[in-house]
Amino acid sequence: MANFSAAMTGDQTFELQGRPARYTVLYFYPKDNTPGCTTEAMNFRDHHDELTALGAVVYGISRDSLRSHESFKSKLGLPFELISDPDEAVCNQFNVMKMKNMYGKKVRGVERSTFVIDAGGKVVKEWRGVKVNDHVKEVLDFLKTQPPGAQ
């Protein structure tokens, strides 16, 4: 996986390379403050301690602005940062931009997807076309299968 950097909440910059975490969980979602995206963010929030205990650091990413992200993060009390990708550079790197049907119209948007990246920058697991309801459990179940201290 090629390195990338992007602006994120908390007045920080995300850099893929050099992450100290055993695993980086990047979840791509379509839009702040929409029902599915709100549920997904709350699920990651509610299982944050379990994810952290398994050596994972979670980041949400969408095309929304930092201002929108800061509001969304504050409103939901998210304990993780949100990455802003308004020019779709990171979305394109992960190939999550897809044509979707919305109310009978074709629109280009983010396909809900999650990637687990190891400390060496390698994608070790990916989910595409994610269904929100049991998704965080799938991520947890995967991380539980990884040997302690795996890189």
Superfamily name and number for 21-144: Glutaredoxin (3.40.30.10)
Instruction: Report pLDDT for 59.
Output: 97
- Tens digit of each residue's pLDDT (9 = 90 or more) over 82-96: 999 999 999 999 999
pLDDT mean over 17-33: 89
91 an active-site residue? no
Q: How far apart are CA 116 and CA 93, in angstroms?
A: 15
Higher pLDDT, 50 or 2: 50
pLDDT mean over 53-80: 97
The residue annotated as part of the active site, out of 37, 56, 57, 139, is: 37
At 142, which amino acid appears? F
Question: Helices in 47-126 by DSSP H: which ranges?
Answer: 48-53, 66-76, 89-93
Name the residue ranges covered by the structural domains of the chain: 21-144
Residue 97 sits at φ, ψ, to 5 deg, of -85, 125
Partnered with residue 106 across adjacent β-strands are 101
- Sign of the dihedral through C-alpha 88, 11, 68, 119: positive
Instruction: Report pLDDT for 120.
Output: 86
Q: How many Cα neighbours within 13 Å face the side chain of 129?
A: 3
pLDDT mean over 39-47: 97
Average pLDDT, the chain: 92
Whole-prediction pTM: 0.93
At 62, which amino acid appears? S
pLDDT mean over 66-72: 97
Instruction: Report pLDDT for 105.
Output: 85
3-class DSSP assignment, residue 57: strand
